Structure 1
Amino acid sequence: MKSRKFVSSELLVSIDVINTLSGGVSEHLLKLKQFEDHREIRLKVPGINPEDIKVEINENVLSLLYTFKIQSDNTWVEVPKVVYNKPIPHFVDESRITANFEEDFLVVNLPFNSMTKGYHRTISAGE
């Protein structure tokens, strides 16, 4: 029977970084959660510090991205990697979107506005 050898986590992270810089892509972990008063996006990217992930809103589109540096012709170039890029739903209050860090995750909170419950009224037809 074969015995298993355990590989250190530092070695695994190094392999992941080398793979990424050599053309591979780190697979990110993206979790979406729905709550009564808000939605939550939790993002973790192996080999990337959560503080290096940027959160941007541009023309009603929420983007989560990070950059990494590669060397090309003796010049270091920052290359962006967009992880999440979707329109903000009409029932989310754009002005109250916040982001913070929990453990190794970037957490983006999307609070709902008054449109969450929908709009309803009865309209009577004129005679």
Structure 2
Amino acid sequence: MRIDKYLWCVRYYKTRNMVTEACKKNHVTVNGQLAKPSKEVFPTDKITFRKDQITQIITVLDIPDNRVSAKLVDMYRKNETPAEVYEHLELLKLSKEHYRKNGTGRPTKKDRRDIDEFGNSPNPTLPEGEGDES
């Protein structure tokens, strides 16, 4: 089976076109060699690919006839990606949400006033009156 079809069948990519693009950008290797979308994969092949800032490592256990349900994916591949990689991804997600939560939209008037007040608060290390610019 072709590598693009295999990665699509085991639900790592949503479309075969996405797999093809990943192959063209040299994000997919089979047994340590760069893979074109038409590269054939066989059981026991080790596939390494980069997706969503994670380098995934999987071993082909069997070849599916066509796209399989999410429950049956483990019959066709063995995920060998280290756990530290997933922990690193969680840290990246948390660092992006450091200032504001996703989906909160633009700051409200109250948020803006709080931000302005925080920025205009007097510096406690300076003596009284030296930090004011009035």
Q: Which one has a larger percent helix, Structure 1 or Structure 2?
A: 2
**Bigger relative contact order, structure 1 or 2, given CA contacts below 8 A and separation 6+?**
1
User: Is the shorter-chain TM-score for this pair beyond 0.5, marking a shared fold?
Assistant: no
Q: Which one has a larger percent strand, Structure 1 or Structure 2?
A: 1
- Superposition TM-score, scaled by structure 1 size: 0.25
- Superposition TM-score, scaled by structure 2 size: 0.25
